[in-house]
Structure 1
Amino acid sequence: MVKIRLSRGGAKGRPFYHVVVTDQRNKRDGRNIESVGYYNPVASGKDKRLELNVERVKEWVGKGAQLTDKVAALVKEAGKQQAA
């Protein structure tokens, strides 16, 4: 099954996540099909906290991909940002 989930990067104590489309059998930071954005939970100042290509996410969901709980919350947040 194809999932849209977070792949961790960054340093110890400063996490940075890529939002990726991947097969659920792959490792968390392993091979992915496509990167559709990023999430920086410790962003400060001018740094962007969330950058997400919502159109691509909707395309993948239309093809049957499932969102993890955290990614679903981030997609909802990104939708609010675009509406504002």
Structure 2
Amino acid sequence: MAVAIKLMRIGKKGVAFYRIVAVDKRKKRNGDYIEKVGSYDPNHNPAKLEINKDRLNYWMQKGALLSEGIRKLLGSSRKIKKDSP
């Protein structure tokens, strides 16, 4: 099974809130997910990003691909460090 780390949009219209989830990459954006890894709330100033670093690194070591949106978030936050094997 190919796993990807994606943003899953939840919340009301005009008030976006995202879960950061590990999901089978063939599934839809808001379909079933394997595990919740974190959350992103762009409505705060500055935007609020919460990530379970251990679980994110676990999935990345298993070969999970990061979606473009997640790559942009992680690049801008500079909070996550990839553990080199």
List gaps (5 residues or longer) in structure 2. Answer: 81-85
Could you tell me which residue of structure 1 aligns to residue 70 of structure 2? 71
Q: Which amino acid aligns with 1:59?
A: Y
Are the aligned partners of 1:50 and 1:78 in contact in 2 as well (CA < 8 Å)?
no
Within 1, Cα distance between the matches of 2:11 and 2:71?
Answer: 22
Structure 1 residue 78 displacement after superposition? 5.4
Structure 1 residue 27 displacement after superposition? 1.1
Structure 1 segments (4+ residues) deviating >4 Å: none
Within 1, Cα distance between the matches of 2:12 and 2:31?
Answer: 17
How many residues were matched structurally? 78
SS of match in other structure, 1:6: strand
- Greater fraction of residues in helix: 1
Within 2, Cα distance between the matches of 1:54 and 1:73?
Answer: 16
List gaps (5 residues or longer) in structure 1. Answer: none
Could you tell me which residue of structure 2 aligns to residue 37 of structure 1? 38
Could you tell me which residue of structure 1 aligns to residue 55 of structure 2? 56
SS of match in other structure, 1:42: coil
Could you tell me which residue of structure 2 aligns to residue 17 of structure 1? 18
RMSD between aligned residues: 1.8
Identity %: 40
SS of match in other structure, 2:79: helix
Structure 1 residue 44 displacement after superposition? 4.2
Q: What's the TM-score, normalizing by structure 2?
A: 0.81
Q: What's the TM-score, normalizing by structure 1?
A: 0.82
